[in-house]
Amino acid sequence: MKKVITYGTFDLFHIGHLKLLKRAKRFGDYLIVAVSTDEFNKLKGKKSFFPYEERKQIVEAIKYVDKVIPEESWEQKINDIKKYDIDIFVIWDDWKWKFDYLKDYWVEVVYLSRTEGISTTDIKRLLSGISDDAIQ
């Protein structure tokens, strides 16, 4: 059985997230998704709209996902690869080359392009610029 792992915040879940998970699952038989905890996001200087537990439940409901674990630190990736006997590590291509060191742990590293025209950051920007009058 080929095991795949990916990491992300998965806030304001959108079609780009769904496509990433679908594409990641195609690389193997079992997909593990590490969802960033609120505490880890704070360390990264990020704030999610939805709390970890809700984001986790959303990701767990996706049919491509077999297991969800918390992402609590940058360093945990090596431990996760060993603990879950991971074959393939998948991540967005804006992280290109940053996780190549994981190849030292006998894992294939795959960088996937993002879905054009959609991002959580863009959604947050758009929503923050909308007035109450525009919503009616």
Is 63 noted as a catalytic residue in this protein?
no
Integer Cα distance of 7 and 94 in angstroms: 13
Out of 2, 42, 44, 67, pick the active-site residue.
44
**Distance from CA of residue 36 to its chain's centroid?**
8
Out of 2, 3, 19, 46, pick the active-site residue.
46
Integer Cα distance of 8 and 10 in angstroms: 6
Is 42 noted as a catalytic residue in this protein?
no
Question: Burial, 66: exposed, middle or buried (Cβ in 10 Å; 0-12, 13-18, 19+)?
Answer: middle
Residues noted as catalytic = 44, 46
